[in-house]
Amino acid sequence: MEKYNNLTKKIVSNVGGTDNVVSLTHCVTRLRFILKDESKANDDVLKNMDGVVTVMKAGGQYQVVIGNHVPDVYKTIIETTSITGERGDTDGAPEKKMGMKDRIFDLISGIMLPSIALMSASGIIKGLNTLMAVFGLYTVESSYYIFVNAIGDAMFFFLPIFLGFNTAKKLKANPYLGLAIGAILCYPAINGVDLNLFSQTVNATYTSSVLPVILIVALAAPLERFFDRVIPNVIKTFVAPMLVLLICIPIGFTLIGPAANMVGALLSKGITALIGVSPILAGIVMGGAWQIFVMFGVHMVILIPSMMNIMAGVPDPMLSFIMIPSFAQTMVVLAIWLKTKDKKLKQIAFPAWISGIFGVTEPAIYGITLPRIKMFVISCIGGAIGGGVVGLLNVNQFTMAGMGIFGLPAYVDPVNNSLGNLFNLVIAIVIAMIFSFVATMILYKDDVVEKIEAAEMPAASGIDKETLVSPMAGTVIPLKNLSDEAFSQELLGKGVAIRPTEGKVYSPCDGIVMTVFPTKHAIGLISDNGSEILIHLGMDTVKLNGKYFESHIEQGQQIKKGDLLVSFDLPEIEKAGFSMDTPIIVTNTKDYFDIVAMKEEQVTVGDDLLTLILADTVVKKSNLESGIQVEFSN
């Protein structure tokens, strides 16, 4: 995991540090933080960080989208920091303010996500086992089939045990108490038999169920806390759980469980009724909107009724609808990869395409299609068309499985040992893929025709630009030569660095002082033209805690080009072992088409240093003076 050490350090630092982390979980592509104070997180830094696709905020969670290697990143964080995983140190953490919707999403994510990968793996095993029987490698009566089916089916049969554990952890109860409640609900002697309890006959089956164990643990959690307060310490370690079980299990088994099963049945009937009105319309809506649901982190809520159907042995069409969008998305990305001449885009498009084949589309969405909104819309339309075909052909999913190609075995009919249902799904996938690929090949165009090939832009060219002058005297060096990766990899924005020859820093523009760090080693400015500038005096000089620095400005102060900002004792700082290589960064780089550094190696205060070219400028070659080759548009 060493290759992720630098990335995880930066992520943890930019979510506010370990002390700001209340809890951390992960799903297929995202680190899901709950933070004490989200304002401490540096959204822009994280979004521009190599190894991070984007940042999302949904369901009360601060989600850092990584890609399909997120388990390795998560494991590295757990191994190299004091963050303990599912539930961090909550001492002193204020109760997170969330609306009802966010609380529901947060609860569902905390309960379901820790087990979803294992559920998918088990579903794939069941699907592959069915394929073996279909192709005649062994029969459903053979020992091989029975044995492999047990490997794949155990997770689903004993699902209340897993969910009991997850629910208890999420509700800050003893997770082993939740595990015990789930195990009791799965105990063979009390499932599917008539039991005369409290003057009523109860016949219920809780294996493979979802809601009963969640609701019973939700009752047990506050009861456990109550007994923990009132029972003497000498006996409460065993008396408290004993009382919780003796109270909650009878209530749950005779009241909560049957009621929850009834609610689950009503939900399933509601979904079935919607599909019954028009399977084609349901497919169009779900196929077209699914990626949007995923973006907003609400997809788990939609999946629960379908998962309940699958675990009850009822073939489900809803999961068939959502199989389509990932294939539509991958074909959009493949077409972009084939058509673009942008080398950087090609580099990120190919791995995103590979990831999408296996159903993990966040890199494709956030890295490629969403920034090019027309391409994202094409993928949604492709998903809608394919979803409509799924509804037309009455495709069902028979078992839990992964997404992308890993989901295909779940569409083999295990009752009739038939591949017809799978073939119908493939037809829908192919139609969605063809539309998405062809539409993208027709409509996609690279934004940038040619990159700027000259640093100096004459005023006669008509280009809207802003020029920042050098705030220091010294030697200009590229950012890539700096020792700090946050600057060398341009994670904070584009710019240059100066190795100063004297200890004074002046304003590079007219504007206002946005930030003066208490340690005086960094200044944030906003120019009158809207550029946001960070001047960071030296590498790791924050450790000096302001020693050798003197600030001549205050936050909020109006400044003019050439005003003295900070003075510092250059010889003493270098004697203390610190490099004074000073990055001058435009932190809102994304607002500009390009940021071009002047070519002079030696500069004095007031020399032109950076040219900021606006992103919405349109330039024709005929407008430029001789010798300058540039053409770009938005």
Is residue 578 within 8 Å of residue 539, measured between CB atoms?
yes
Q: Given the residues 26, 27, 248, 509, select the one marked as catalytic.
A: 27
Give the angle 497-498-499 at the CA atoms, nearest 5°: 125
How far is it, in rounded angstroms, from Cα 114 to Cα 109?
Answer: 8
Q: What is the distance of C-alpha 541 from the center of its chain?
A: 33
- When computed from its CA atoms, the radius of gyration of the chain, rounded to whole angstroms, is 30
How far is it, in rounded angstroms, from Cα 358 to Cα 338?
Answer: 20
Structure tokens at 494: 């584009």
Is residue 523 within 8 Å of residue 513, measured between CB atoms?
yes
Place of tokens 């947060």: 106
Q: Given the residues 26, 248, 509, 536, select the one marked as catalytic.
A: 536
Active site residue 27: yes
Is residue 455 within 8 Å of residue 598, measured between CB atoms?
yes
Q: What is the distance of C-alpha 98 from the center of its chain?
A: 19
Per DSSP, 81 falls in state S
Strand 549-551 vs strand 200-202: parallel, antiparallel, or unpaired?
A: unpaired
Q: Give me the sheet containing 494-500, strands edge to edge.
A: 558-559, 511-516, 522-527, 532-536, 582-586, 494-500, 474-477, 602-603
How far is it, in rounded angstroms, from Cα 413 to Cα 411?
Answer: 6
Structure tokens at 173: 């109860």
Give the angle 558-564-570 at the CA atoms, nearest 5°: 145
Dihedral-angle region of residue 471 (phi above 0 means left; psi in -120 to 50 means alpha; beta otherwise): alpha
Is residue 1 within 8 Å of residue 71, measured between CB atoms?
no
Closest to 185 in 3D by CA, of 127, 142, 249, 100: 249
Closest to 324 in 3D by CA, of 283, 294, 292: 283
SS3 for 306-362 is HHHHHHCCCCECHHHHCCHHHHHHHHHHHHHHHHCCCHHHHHHHHHHHHHHHCCCCH
SS3 for 166-205 is HHHHHCCCCHHHHHHHHHHHCCHHHCCCCEEECCEEECCC
Contacts of 268-274 with C-beta under 8 Å, sequence gap 24+, read 268/305, 268/308, 268/309, 268/312, 268/314, 270/305, 271/305, 271/306, 271/309, 271/318
Active site residue 536: yes
* Range list of H helices, 444-495: 485-488
473 three-state secondary structure: coil
Q: Which residues carry out catalysis? A: 27, 536
